[in-house]
Structure 1
């Protein structure tokens, strides 16, 4: 996607992005998980809390991420706040793909993660572009490819 005529999208400095996410997590904790959560039907995407197992520590690690729904699957982007490299939560999922996704007002979902590829990747990427038309311009600023991560319900999970 060309950004000609629209200019390159502005990305806040990393310290601002990291501070904003720390504030978001603090508000989540203080509100008991109610504050700042929306489901995907509010604006085309929603926020979920993903709990993974640390690849080095073996401890539970939680992060709040944007998601889209694709049938029973949840779709997230491993974009690391547009910094280079992959986010820790994605590296954790590569090592231990079983995780727990918590959506606003719903019971936790047991999920298994995988990176979308081929036609699935292209289709899901375009779903995100439909929600955020500047996505490709942001992604082009990174040398690191942004994985499209699919969280599928785990076999036998309700």
Structure 2
């Protein structure tokens, strides 16, 4: 789990031990396993993930922080990653995906999906002076 912030390591452990049913966030999280943009080291990031078309979407809200989380640059630099996602009943599946940053109508469709599924998304969006990056995690062959 290298390269994570100290407080996130226990959350990642809870996510994995619970089979994707996190005690606080339920089955709404995904675990991104990628590569650091500058370091080239393995990085793991836990974030909200929503099923979307042939994969999932993740939004870099960073809890309403005025800057992007580090995983944004990691995905921009190294878009081919593994993602752990909760299965419908129980357990976790690991998929190889390509992270595609959305713009235009595709971004707007994903943005509206986030606003519908996660009302706090609108609060985070209103509280920052940046366009929150949204990535589509497309399952690869």
User: Shorter-chain-normalised TM-score: which range?
Assistant: 0.7 to 0.9
Structure 1: give runs of 5+ residues left out of the alignment. 1-18
Is residue 50 of structure 2 the alignment partner of residue 68 of structure 1? Answer: yes
Detail structure 1 runs of 4+ shifted over 3 Å in the superposition. none
SS in structure 2 opposite 1:94?
helix
Counterparts in 2 of 1:4-153, with a 5 A limit?
22=7, 25-29=9-13, 33-35=16-18, 37-38=20-21, 46-104=28-86, 105-153=91-139
Q: Which has the larger radius of gyration?
A: 1
SS in structure 1 opposite 2:92?
coil
Q: TM-score normalised to the size of structure 2?
A: 0.80
Aligned residue pairs, count: 131
- Following TM superposition, by how much is the alpha carbon of 1:32 offset from its aligned partner in structure 2, in angstroms? 7.8
Q: Is the 8 A contact 2:61 2:124 kept in 1?
A: no
**Alpha-carbon distance in structure 2 between the residues aligned to 1:150 and 1:49:** 14
Structure 2: give runs of 5+ residues left out of the alignment. none
- Following TM superposition, by how much is the alpha carbon of 1:57 offset from its aligned partner in structure 2, in angstroms? 1.0
- Give the CA RMSD over aligned residues: 2.5
Q: TM-score normalised to the size of structure 1?
A: 0.72
